């Protein structure tokens, strides 16, 4: 076991450097002063180079090779070695020069995106994005792929996912969800004016921290801050931080941001600390990660039983705004289905059209069939085609997401994959947890969290995503659970036949 302990120690060293980079990234998006941007890009690039050195160390490779044939290891240890070997082989495909260049370009791209969004001008971001897309295409060639270069990007976030599979999945979205949303559009529309009042920022933040605590988020192992784009970052299972976004004239922005990020954070806090740095101590895939955030945001957070408990508290905090309304008014407002400009503010049905648009753009951009300078016009046309919306500006259109500035091509599809997993997992939880929705209605979310900890969180990357889904639900990912959930819920809300 001496060699295995040596392996664990090296993995933790890699993780230490990785999480040090994460701290700098978190600070860059939350607190960093503007003049620090250039040096911060340099600092992150330096650490990224060091991370690459340690991750591709030849002696580490020899150690993995030796442990790969060690029959004395148990199944979990063998899986750790197998996953670490995959990572090592992928990392050794890249030169340190390429890794450092990618890191520096991403940091510079993020700063350019921030300025471009602030000034509502895509042209300020385009040159850096062009550099980044060129690097990402080069990355695809280095990583290798069988059918489509975008497969190499997808595999970074959802291992095994391919353009072919996602085309099939999004065909389900087009063939089933589009028609259902069209039915809803013809029905009498609900009113969301309850959300569109003045709500003091500090009170909003305090309330969402109450909700996070109720979910089981441990504030002794995390914190909530404000950022332009909500995100969750992890330094270990004992330090998992969330950010949220506040609009004093729209209560819905912070509610779904905080609950969504809280779902991500619960997953990270549920990873076993004893496995820090090992595959068994890291999340499985971004589709599974998104399943946790979307389950809490939608299956729980937009559920009437959740607000039967929490709306009274919200009325106490904002009596003037909410006294004239009841929980049913609030429930209808939060589940309004209508096309919208901003993905993160979209309802849970049209949300998948936003993801579909990004998927279609990204795969063609990475394939070289779309030019960066043409992105605004292509984006605007797709929003007109899929959502019948005219995009008024770059900041509300092609610049709205942070992902491309991070080089996160291939990330967007995991949002839809995650929603579909969430519906399937929640369906199973309802079957296995006695009186689950009664418990939620009483403000007790612990049984759900315990179930997720046991079924998903504690396993880290010991199973592939499809393997875990079968283990939890008895079958692989099936879109029918999402459509069943959507039709049951929204047919009642909109009084459809």
Dist. CA 122–CA 404, nearest whole Å? 12
Residues with Cβ within 8 Å of 431's Cβ and at least 6 positions away in sequence, in order, are: none
| Of residues 214, 299, 304, 307, the one with CA closest to residue 262 | 214
- Alpha carbon distance 454, 446 (integer Å): 12
CB burial class (10 A; 0-12, 13-18, 19+) of residue 5? exposed
Segments in 144-200 forming alpha helices (H)? 149-157, 163-172, 178-186
Q: Which residue has the tokens 């299972």?
A: 237
The CB-side HSE value for 118 (13 A sphere, CA atoms) comes to: 7
Tokens representing 243 are 């950010």
Chain mean position to CA 171 = 22
d(CA 495, CA 348): 18
Q: Among candidates 153, 133, 134, which has minimal Cα distance to 404?
A: 133
Question: Helix, strand, coil shares of the chain as percentages rounded to 5?
Answer: 70, 5, 30
**Tokens for 109?**
């791209």
Map residue 234 onto helix, strand or coil.
strand
Contacts of 454 (CB under 8 A, 6+ apart): none
Give the separation between CA 371 and CA 379, rounded to whole angstroms. Answer: 12
Our CA angle for 295, 301, 304, nearest 5°, is: 120
| Euclidean distance between CA atoms 190 and 204, whole angstroms | 24
Structure tokens at 242: 């969330």
Separation between Cα atoms, residue 465 and residue 243, nearest integer Å:
27
Determine whether 2 is an active site residue.
no
For the record, the structure tokens of 76 come out as: 């979990």
Of the candidates 319, 299, 217, 286, the residue with the CA atom closest to the CA atom of residue 258: 217
Enclosing H/E stretch for 308: helix 304-317
The Cα-based distances of 431 to 14, 215, 421, 425, 441 in angstroms read 41, 20, 16, 10, 17
Catalytic one of 253, 261, 297, 348: 261
Catalytic positions, written as ranges: 261
């Amino acid at each position: 076991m001496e060699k295995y302990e040596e392996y664990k120690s090296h993995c933790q060293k890699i993780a230490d450097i990785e999480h040090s980079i994460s701290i700098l990234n978190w600070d860059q998006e939350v607190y960093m002063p503007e003049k620090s941007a250039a040096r911060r890009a340099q600092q992150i690039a330096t650490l990224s180079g060091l991370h690459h050195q340690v991750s591709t160390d030849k002696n580490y490779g020899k150690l993995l090779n030796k442990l790969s044939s060690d029959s004395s290891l148990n199944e979990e240890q063998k899986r750790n070695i197998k996953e670490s070997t995959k990572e090592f082989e992928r990392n050794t495909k890249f030169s340190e020069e390429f890794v450092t260049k990618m890191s520096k370009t991403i940091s510079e791209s993020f700063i350019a995106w921030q300025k471009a969004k602030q000034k509502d001008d895509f042209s300020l971001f385009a040159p850096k994005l062009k550099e980044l897309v060129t690097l990402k295409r080069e990355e695809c060639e280095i990583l290798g792929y069988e059918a489509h270069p975008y497969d190499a990007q997808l595999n970074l976030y959802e291992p095994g996912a391919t353009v072919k599979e996602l085309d099939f999945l999004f065909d389900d979205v087009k063939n089933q969800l589009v028609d259902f949303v069209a039915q809803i559009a013809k029905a009498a529309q609900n009113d969301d004016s309850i959300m569109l009042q003045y709500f003091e920022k500090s009170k909003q933040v305090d309330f969402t921290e109450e909700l996070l605590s109720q979910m089981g988020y441990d504030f002794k192992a995390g914190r909530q801050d404000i950022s332009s784009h909500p995100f969750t970052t992890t330094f270990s299972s004992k330090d998992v931080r969330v950010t949220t976004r506040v609009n004093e004239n729209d209560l819905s922005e912070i509610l779904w941001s905080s609950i969504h990020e809280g779902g991500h954070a619960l997953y990270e806090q549920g990873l076993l600390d004893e496995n820090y740095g090992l595959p068994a101590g890291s999340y499985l895939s971004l589709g599974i990660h998104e399943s946790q955030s979307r389950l809490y945001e939608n299956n729980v957070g937009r559920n009437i039983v959740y607000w039967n408990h929490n709306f009274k508290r919200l009325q106490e905090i904002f009596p003037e705004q909410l006294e004239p309304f009841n929980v049913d008014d609030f429930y209808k407002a939060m589940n309004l289905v209508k096309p919208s400009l901003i993905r993160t503010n979209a309802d849970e049905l049209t949300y998948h059209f936003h993801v579909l648009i990004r998927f279609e753009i990204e795969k063609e951009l990475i394939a070289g069939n779309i030019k960066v300078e043409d992105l605004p016009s292509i984006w605007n046309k797709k929003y007109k085609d899929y959502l019948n919306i005219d995009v008024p500006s770059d900041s509300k259109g092609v610049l709205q997401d942070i992902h491309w500035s991070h080089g996160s091509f291939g990330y967007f599809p995991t949002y839809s994959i995650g929603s579909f997993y969430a519906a399937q997992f929640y369906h199973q939880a309802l079957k296995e947890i006695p009186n689950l929705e009664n418990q939620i209605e009483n403000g007790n979310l612990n049984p759900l969290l315990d179930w997720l900890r046991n079924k998903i969180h504690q396993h880290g990357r010991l199973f592939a995503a499809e393997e875990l889904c079968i283990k939890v639900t008895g079958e692989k990912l099936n879109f029918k659970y999402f459509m069943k959930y959507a039709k049951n819920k929204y047919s009642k809300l909109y009084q459809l036949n």
